[in-house]
Structure 1
């Protein structure tokens, strides 16, 4: 069976508009969460988030092309360009896939259309509203811009979307359905309508994201994208490519229990399946990049899942949640968090978890806080646990 490696990475997110900026921010533990700047902010109860600031679409796209692109697609396209440039690859178009994850698709486009029709009383919306808002738009535009004619589609499984997308890409490459894949996730939900909907769930924090900490009071929304070039390890080495990491295992499960409340049984099965797929033991894992949303239910459920899989070692394996730095990117969360895994594997640095106040006895994990933790980390797990009980875990190893 083919071994799948990452040879290119690109990103636009609140920490930076490329890979180097993002890695530097993660090393420094810089938090990008702050006051939001969006229309009708005064009507929102939650006024903080992690925005991509100083984003000028005209620097990346021609004016005519922009009329087709929702904000989340802009992030995805720029990220894909960066990833392909780093990979230095000219793949066979018919053997290259584009698989993207998103939870909300073109939510800003939807918000603008509803505002025009309902609030402003207009009788028509932009003619490209449907192709802008559809969940498959990012994958389609990546495919069209780069001439990719292999399997192309989007995955939507809420907060596990990009982990599912990357996991499916790995499985397709292993099976020979494609030779190369661009895979990742993209999201842009920071609009009045999007945030008002999340407010209704009462899971949003008004002040900070504090995963696994006493005093935490909810998640904080972010936006952005990350895209990776995946290819067969032998082919990558043969062409002299720099390998960033190997994706050794994928675990996917469903809780099949509740639409919003997580279940440690489903999460633990996903973790175990990723280990089994990689051929690893629980004792061999050096670091876990947690889902870590900073909601009471998720953090305690995730800590329990880790205890079930790793036993007493669950309190000894270094854990971080970079959502405390860049916010919860929903469908793009796992993709941007994968960059934190690359930092640990390549540079021996685990990004710190911001906002920590005090240990929660119900979350007995070795949480990395304050500053980045240095060491040698050869095998890491990256978790994505979503509403609807949809779980996807990736196992990555040092190249």
Structure 2
């Protein structure tokens, strides 16, 4: 394992906002019971979309009670700032506060100068209603493509604090301010690779000796008035008979499911956890990242994943045979799953040699930047409970995806989890962890 001195990086708290609810218990119950978190969309008009289905975090409304137990100052500060947080930021902050409560990491139990936040997110898109009053003020001119009066008449109608609601560095900023964490602070916007990238950077920041504690995770959405349109225009969405089903690696898969959520972990040195009497839930062993894209802009997800997996194995000083199971990206688009399956074969060999493979997106869809950390929490809880959960909606094997999928609830094998995520642009991020 990569170390600075004798440092080990352990996980002492989890928090998540998912389509199954706002607690890790609700999330685990949904996954363990092989439930489908996809339902008819409630927050979006679907007339212009190829699907009426999505995996919404319907239990999260942004109420202060959903941020977990807080002291009076935190409660007052968070409630005051809710108006300058879009839904993604609210979910991200809530997941972090829930993880801090789970870790019992309250003020006085950490050195503010040695405690930081590294968080991931998608780039955040403004809701159209933010501009509505300004557009109405200049409606005739804008209809004629005349923007001469926008600066003087339209802009003054927009909330001066509008931009603060949508900056991707704000989850990390808010979390640090609400909890007086003055150490390293970083924000990563790498689409679906953001979670594992943030966890990996947190791991390395602690190993480098720059912090003793890091709150890490990510928040993301594909369920959004503008984001959903962008996703539909750029990527393949499940439609037809599969509209409400995510089918990773199935021969008849035909696209991803729109989802939303957030997840967080508290990472700290084993010594710091022991000193404050915290029981480690898991340990981070290694991380790897790679981007592979050619000069024409075409990505190579297969090679990016292979590189990232091998980097992570090398850092953890493990071989492929040491891995207990793989939590796959499992996007359920034809090309992504085929390239991911090929990468798994490249590193681990054919199906008989591969460790078991799970795919949480079959339960909760594509949570965007949040997917990786939510998926890792599911694997770590499964390892703790010694029970692997099945992949959903897998009916027809695809010879181009020879992967050792978990098809039913089975006893968890020993050994660490390899958590995979990759973007359409060829950015792969991998984390290896054990319990």
Query: Normalising to structure 2: TM-score of the pair?
Result: 0.86
Q: Distance in 1 between matches of 2:45 and 2:236?
A: 20
User: Does residue 1:103 correspond to 2:122, yes or no?
Assistant: yes
- Counterpart for residue 309 of structure 1: 347
- Which residue among 48, 66, 71 is the counterpart of 2:82? 66
- Which residue among 347, 350, 355 is the counterpart of 2:388? 350
On the 8 A contact 1:110/1:133 being kept in 2, the answer is no
User: Does residue 1:330 correspond to 2:368, yes or no?
Assistant: yes
Q: Distance in 1 between matches of 2:334 and 2:175?
A: 37
CA offset at residue 45 of structure 1?
Answer: 2.3
- Which residue among 227, 234, 237 is the counterpart of 1:201? 234
Q: How does 1:88-167 map to 2 (within 5 A)?
A: 88-89=104-105, 90-105=109-124, 107=125, 109-114=126-131, 117-118=134-135, 121=139, 123=154, 124-167=157-200
Q: Distance in 1 between matches of 2:222 and 2:234?
A: 15
CA offset at residue 273 of structure 1?
Answer: 0.9
- Counterpart for residue 69 of structure 2: none
- State which drifts further: 335-344 or 314-323: 314-323
Q: How does 1:211-250 map to 2 (within 5 A)?
A: 211-250=248-287
- Which residue among 33, 37, 59 is the counterpart of 2:38? 33
Q: Aligned with 1:256: secondary structure?
A: coil
CA offset at residue 256 of structure 1?
Answer: 2.5
CA offset at residue 192 of structure 1?
Answer: 2.1
Distance of aligned partners of 1:66 and 1:219 in 2 relative to their CA distance in 1, 3 Å threshold: same
1:329-370: per-residue Cα shift (whole Å, max 9, x none)?
11111011111111232111222211112111111111112x
- Which residue among 51, 54, 67 is the counterpart of 1:49? 54
Distance of aligned partners of 1:260 and 1:14 in 2 relative to their CA distance in 1, 3 Å threshold: farther
- Counterpart for residue 10 of structure 1: 15
Q: Aligned with 2:343: secondary structure?
A: helix
1:99-133: per-residue Cα shift (whole Å, max 9, x none)?
1101123x2x4443255555785932222211110
Q: Distance in 2 between matches of 1:72 and 1:45?
A: 23
Q: Distance in 1 between matches of 2:228 and 2:352?
A: 34
Q: Aligned with 2:84: secondary structure?
A: coil
Please list every run of 5 or more consecutive structure 1 residues that lacks an aligned counterpart in the other structure. Answer: none
On the 8 A contact 1:79/1:227 being kept in 2, the answer is yes
Q: Distance in 1 between matches of 2:344 and 2:82?
A: 44
User: Does residue 1:367 correspond to 2:386, yes or no?
Assistant: no
On the 8 A contact 2:22/2:59 being kept in 1, the answer is no
Q: Distance in 1 between matches of 2:362 and 2:373?
A: 15
CA offset at residue 264 of structure 1?
Answer: 1.2
CA offset at residue 284 of structure 1?
Answer: 0.9
Q: Aligned with 1:357: secondary structure?
A: coil
Q: What value does the CA root-mean-square deviation take over the aligned residues?
A: 1.9
Distance of aligned partners of 1:195 and 1:243 in 2 relative to their CA distance in 1, 3 Å threshold: same
Q: Aligned with 2:428: secondary structure?
A: strand
Q: Distance in 2 between matches of 1:216 and 1:373?
A: 24
Q: Distance in 1 between matches of 2:235 and 2:345?
A: 28
Query: Normalising to structure 1: TM-score of the pair?
Result: 0.94
Count residues with an aligned counterpart. Answer: 395
